[in-house]
Copies of this chain bind each other. A is one copy, B any other.
């Protein structure tokens, strides 16, 4: 049974080699397959189903705030990409260029979108004339391309899937509110749905999006103590509108410049799910995002009535996403597969269980075995999944808190970064020189300046000058 073998081969343990553990989980849990197109991956059914659940939930939350979906071209003419100076500097070095269409060379080369601010601006220029046309809150689900040198599944690939929201507003205040609203929407989504606690904050100028006035971010801590930027929301002020000549007439018939935002979450977030929740048996999926929430595994399935009972249970659990593994593999193989795939619980049912009108529910995260009366299974399963979702969040939060440190002097800072993987909170003067020095000395970058934080010292941890902001620092994916 070739399939079985592939699935249950032991994976590298995360303590031995976290990077290898990660790629083992990606392939053995059948989330992806490497393709012959360098830097691009195939997202297999088990991986894509996670993305579909993320899409469905985020899309629902977007629409509740009045966002509408659209679709923009995937190509950007070179002259359009160049209209906003900072933006083109940020993206031009890493785009893929189409230079030939059909049998003819193109008069103007086109890049495959790395992000679509320029296309939305070009579109809004034709759509926005009066204050009555504002705001417009549009989003698209699509793939984008960035020609990365080193690539890793989900975390950094030359092509990835994402959503990009692009809004345009009459006033700076409205744009700022939308920027914050979407950042908070992302944070709530990560915490509620993916059981991933995040730090909400603002990026320093060095780390902000090319062309943005302010970038807000949610930062999550992976199991190995490295940070992962998990979603960003940008306030562009009127910079793009000015570069693209977008104007509107206000109620007093005066010409005004609108304000814009953009915000995005990508398939990268699947990397966060793997690295926050996974263990040495494979993937562990939070119940809310899991494509299959419970796998029923019949024991001695050839005995009369076992398979029928398994199917009957599945049909009674219609409120959940449940499957029966009725393949001819042994229960042991099936357990390993269910664990590798991260299916939140398995339900074991055999002749003895049936005789006792019970089954055994086994939680993927804790391995806890819970004997449940079959008459109560639908209620109990709901409770177990709810508890598991909460526990996974609490465990991830406890892990982050246990790996968040403070430093007030530079020697202590460097020592912590080197010896204790995690976030280090430290004060910063606001100068990019200190950020550059810290990165050079330690490999850590400023992850964010958390909202509403209290200073922990008066001086910059690096240069000793007067501090302006508390920063979360860390090595990052």
A residues sitting closer than 8 Å to B (CB atoms) are: 1-3, 33, 35-37, 40-45, 48-49, 51-52, 68-77, 80, 93-103, 109-110, 112, 119, 122-123, 126-127, 129-130, 132-133, 138, 142-143, 145, 147, 149, 158-159, 161
Contacts and interface: CB of A to CB of B under 8 A. Distances in A.
Interface of A, helix, strand, loop or mixed by DSSP: mixed
A100 B96 contact: yes
Contacts of A119: 35, 37, 42
B73 A147 contact: no
Contact of A98 (B35, B43, B68, B98): B98
Contacts of A161: 71
B40 A75 contact: yes
Contacts of A102: 93-96, 147, 149
A103 B111 CA distance: 12
Nearest to A43: B71
Contacts of A37: 73, 75-77, 110, 119
A45 B36 CA distance: 36
A245 to B, nearest CB: 13
Contacts of A2: 129-130, 132-133
B93 A70 contact: no
A70 B32 CA distance: 9
B49 A69 contact: yes
Given A143-B142, A145-B74, A36 B127 contact: no
Contacts of A96: 75, 98, 100-102, 110
Contacts of A112: 74, 98, 112
Given A123-B35, A130-B2, A159-B75, A69 B48 contact: yes
A33 B133 CA distance: 15
Given A2-B129, A37-B73, A94-B102, 16 more contacts: A1-B132, A35-B73, A36-B80, A37-B75, A37-B110, A37-B119, A48-B68, A49-B68, A51-B71, A71-B143, A74-B112, A74-B143, A74-B145, A93-B102, A98-B112, A101-B147
Contacts of A98: 96-99, 112
Nearest to A68: B45
Contacts of A51: 71
A243 to B, nearest CB: 15
Contacts of A77: 36-37
- Candidate in A33, A48, A130, A158 with the most chain B CB atoms within 10 angstroms: A48
A173 to B, nearest CB: 23
A42 B73 contact: yes
Given A37-B76, A37-B110, A42 B70 contact: yes
B3 A74 contact: no
- Candidate in A37, A52, A69, A94 with the most chain B CB atoms within 10 angstroms: A37
Contacts of A73: 35, 37, 40-42, 159
Contacts of A49: 68-69
A98 B358 CA distance: 60
